[in-house]
Structure 1
Amino acid sequence: MTKAEALWRSIAAMGDAGAGGYASLAKAKLSGGTGRPELTAPASSGSPVTLGACTIIKDPTVTKGERIAVRVPLIATPGTVIDPAQMDIHVFLFEKVNGERVEQARAAAPTLNWVSAPVNWKDANEELVDVVYDLPPPKPEEVRDLGRRTFHGFVVKLFYQNKLAGEQAQPRDLLDFSSQPSAPAGLDNALFPK
């Protein structure tokens, strides 16, 4: 990821409330100027749904610990019908420990918040879901045993009919890290609307 791309992503993550019209400009820059999120599905997947450009939204009202939302745009190929029961999404958060090594976040299970409703891909080809994690402030014994931890990034993997339909990571090198066998499963497809 280039320095410019990292800056555009941080502006886009602020949203309209934090960055005003610059958030839309940043999203357009990240999508190659088209105004549409970049598609990340593998070319051979043939999936009718893929990921748009995922962003991080930090809740500024949380003063003890952190609340991190990963906004996941799910984009349908025009003219296709999406079966949510065939979709699985896995979102992983990562923390930097003592400013040195990267580990998976020690957060409780995330909550799911559909930004766009109804979720049916009929009115638009894109539906948005926020995967929200609460990272409580560490207790002194946790800092002693586990180290001082700060939010580092995320990995999102979208599966449709048990085939990888798209994946993203911020920073990009986390894709290799999340492939390790210790990574737990993400969201269950039972959380998707029927």
Structure 2
Amino acid sequence: MAENALHARSGLFFQLTCWVLGLIAFTQLLIGGVALALRVEAAREVRIEEKIVTKIVNIAPKPSPLPPAKPLVALPPAPDPISPTRELPSPRPLSAPPIADPVIERLVNEARTARVADDLGSSYLKLEEAVGRDPDEPSALYELGLVYEALAAADPDQIPKAAEAFQKVFNLGTKAGALYPLAAKKLEEGIALPQNMRGKLSIGRVLTFPDNTYPDGERVILTIPVSAAPGSEPTGDEFFIKVTFFDKDTQGTLLPKGYQSQDSYEWVSGDLDWLGGQETLRVTYTIPTPSASDIQLFGRRKYYGQVVELFYKNEVVDAQATPRHLATELNRQQGVQETEDPLLFNPDGLPDFDPNLPLLPPLDGEIPVDPMGELPPFDER
């Protein structure tokens, strides 16, 4: 009995011992896990360590003081340097020297106006008078050279006279002002004649743009390109373009430009610079809305086409008609105008009359002529 009780106690003690050992082992494991977790968490923190680094700095030796400078003569202050950003004034272009004599100035201006109006005879006479008053006036000499140059289109013998006038301007040097380089260019390039400009100055394709939004009638805008060969670019007073417009009425009759129609000319680039060897002329043609009386008398007009002519020194060097048959119509009209000139009459169309039988009665005191020869001779006493 006692032996069984002892055996039961020893078994219970063994179990308690095992439980205590297990609890101790669990506690150790728990402590180890907590310690490991704390260590890992501490490892994630950023540690900043400050270290002191010694840097070696080389100090240059202090230079010995310089001896005192001797007194020098004071120099004037230097001028302020020119700032590269300062804008310099643009060079003043040359201009023709003013004409001191008011009479010569009036003659030159009138001669220039006459030359532009193609009245070369009147222009020549005025310039001869101006050169007679002052043979060294550059404006008169240069204008005289331009007149000779225009006359050379019909008479090549005038070319040496034009060259002589330009040479006189060139000999004046800087006294001629802006006319000096112009005269030099004339002498260098020579006198250009209209026949020499054919193939060097031409009309391009003319484009027509109807303005359908114009409220007061019909308006058409033309763009006329003019091309010049390199080195052959003319000045504004050497060439011009003439556009002859044609209309059609309700009956289909071809009519010239009406007296109420208007046309205007404008260079697209403003001043002629021949950039790219071409200039463009814009021509605006306007046919106003006719009144009821004009419609009843003349019918209603409508734009049909035009003939564009390019003149160099008053000679046609190129032409273009739209439609093409208008070129023959223009030639026919010009032929009619020439035949209707009152100075070009046909003597065969005059009536027959005897010059010995005047149509008007004799004046008082005038002795009539006897056509039959039967009157006695007149006594001269």
- On whether the aligned pair clears a TM of 0.5, the verdict is yes
Q: Deviations over 1:44-95 (max 9, x none)?
A: 9431321111121222320220111221111111232312211121101111
Q: How does 1:29-108 map to 2 (within 5 A)?
A: 45-47=195-197, 48-106=200-258, 107-108=260-261
Q: Deviations over 1:85-136 (max 9, x none)?
A: 1112110111111242101121444212222344221x21110011112210
- In the other structure, the counterpart of 2:269 is 116
Structure with the largest fraction of helix:
2
Which deviates the most, 105-114 or 168-177? 105-114
Which deviates the most, 103-112 or 142-151? 103-112
- Tell me the distance in 2 between the aligned counterparts of 1:88 and 1:78: 19
1:178 to 326, 330, 337: 330
In structure 2, the CA distance between the partners of 1:61 and 1:100, relative to structure 1 (3 Å rule), is closer
- In the other structure, the counterpart of 2:89 is none
- Tell me the distance in 2 between the aligned counterparts of 1:86 and 1:113: 17
Q: 1:144 aligned to 2:296?
A: yes
Work out the number of aligned pairs and report it: 139
In structure 2, the CA distance between the partners of 1:124 and 1:87, relative to structure 1 (3 Å rule), is same
- In the other structure, the counterpart of 1:156 is 308
- Tell me the distance in 1 between the aligned counterparts of 2:282 and 2:256: 19
Aligned sequence identity (%): 28
TM-score (norm 2): 0.34
User: Is contact 2:262-2:287 (8 Å) kept?
Assistant: no
TM-score (norm 1): 0.65
User: Is contact 2:261-2:288 (8 Å) kept?
Assistant: no
Name the larger-Rg structure: 2
Q: For residue 46 of structure 1, give the secondary structure of its aligned residue in structure 2.
A: helix
Q: For residue 154 of structure 1, give the secondary structure of its aligned residue in structure 2.
A: strand
2:286 to 134, 159, 162: 134
* RMSD over equivalenced CA pairs, Å: 2.0
- In the other structure, the counterpart of 1:11 is none
- Tell me the distance in 1 between the aligned counterparts of 2:256 and 2:318: 20
Q: Which stretches in structure 1 are left out of the alignment for 5+ residues?
A: 1-43, 184-194
Q: For residue 328 of structure 2, give the secondary structure of its aligned residue in structure 1.
A: helix
- Tell me the distance in 2 between the aligned counterparts of 1:45 and 1:60: 41
Instruction: With a CA cutoff of 8 Å and minimum separation of 6, indicate the structure with the bigger relative contact order.
Output: 1
User: Is contact 1:45-1:164 (8 Å) kept?
Assistant: no
- In the other structure, the counterpart of 2:37 is none
- Tell me the distance in 2 between the aligned counterparts of 1:67 and 1:144: 22
Structure 1 stretches of 4+ with a deviation exceeding 3 A read none
| Paired amino acid for 1:62 | Y
User: Is contact 1:94-1:103 (8 Å) kept?
Assistant: yes
Q: For residue 63 of structure 1, give the secondary structure of its aligned residue in structure 2.
A: coil
Q: For residue 230 of structure 2, give the secondary structure of its aligned residue in structure 1.
A: coil
